[in-house]
């Protein structure tokens, strides 16, 4: 039997994401097993408006496959305007809160963003959002997830 050749494909851009798929529908654990340290360095002020403008609308609603854009709305989330995005994040989905004010490790969005390499990672199948952006989200939630 001849040995098989292995071909490796690498993506040159960190903004190239694999499309929205059934892996994104896998239910993650309720809370992070080992919560990330709270002493992190945010890329910007951890306010909801900054998070919406710099992360949710840019990465989740327009980059790559646009899983949470106007045509996507995967998991019942469409990050097309800040008011509805905020309401959706603080609402309950499948019996669990997407954002638990004051509790980043048990906020479903942080579990998905911090679970790099897991099938429920957000964004799915690609590069995670940068650490400084995840840190801003973590701090926003830790500080009460205010609007």
User: Looking at the domain assignment, is residue 127 inside a domain?
Assistant: yes
pLDDT tens, residue order, the chain (147 aa): 444 333 222 222 333 344 565 445 667 787 887 666 556 888 899 999 999 999 888 878 775 557 777 777 777 787 888 998 999 999 877 777 899 999 999 999 999 898 888 888 888 877 888 999 999 999 999 999 999
* Tally of domains within the chain: 1
User: Looking at the domain assignment, is residue 107 inside a domain?
Assistant: yes
CA neighbor of 109 nearest in space, from 144, 77, 132, 82: 77
User: Looking at the domain assignment, is residue 114 inside a domain?
Assistant: yes
User: Looking at the domain assignment, is residue 115 inside a domain?
Assistant: yes
User: Looking at the domain assignment, is residue 13 inside a domain?
Assistant: no
Cβ atoms 122, 23 nearer than 8 A:
no
Kindly report the number of other CB atoms within 10 A of residue 14's CB atom.
12
User: Looking at the domain assignment, is residue 118 inside a domain?
Assistant: yes
User: Looking at the domain assignment, is residue 66 inside a domain?
Assistant: yes
Query: By residue range, what is the domain housing residue 106?
Result: 42-142
Cα separation of 112 and 101, whole Å?
16
């Amino acid at each position: 039997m001849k040995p098989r050749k292995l071909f490796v494909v690498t993506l040159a851009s960190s903004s190239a994401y694999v499309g929205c798929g059934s892996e994104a529908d896998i239910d993650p654990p309720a809370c992070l097993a080992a919560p990330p340290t709270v002493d992190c360095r945010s890329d910007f002020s951890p306010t909801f408006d900054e998070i919406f403008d710099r992360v949710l609308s840019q990465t989740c609603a327009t980059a790559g496959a646009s899983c949470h854009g106007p045509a996507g709305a995967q998991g019942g989330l469409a990050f097309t305007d800040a008011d509805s995005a905020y309401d959706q994040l603080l609402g309950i989905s499948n019996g669990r809160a997407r954002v638990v004010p004051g509790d980043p490790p048990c906020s479903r969005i942080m579990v998905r963003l911090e679970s790099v390499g897991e099938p429920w990672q957000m964004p799915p199948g690609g590069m995670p959002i940068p650490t400084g952006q995840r840190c801003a989200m973590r701090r926003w939630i830790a500080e009460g997830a205010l609007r």
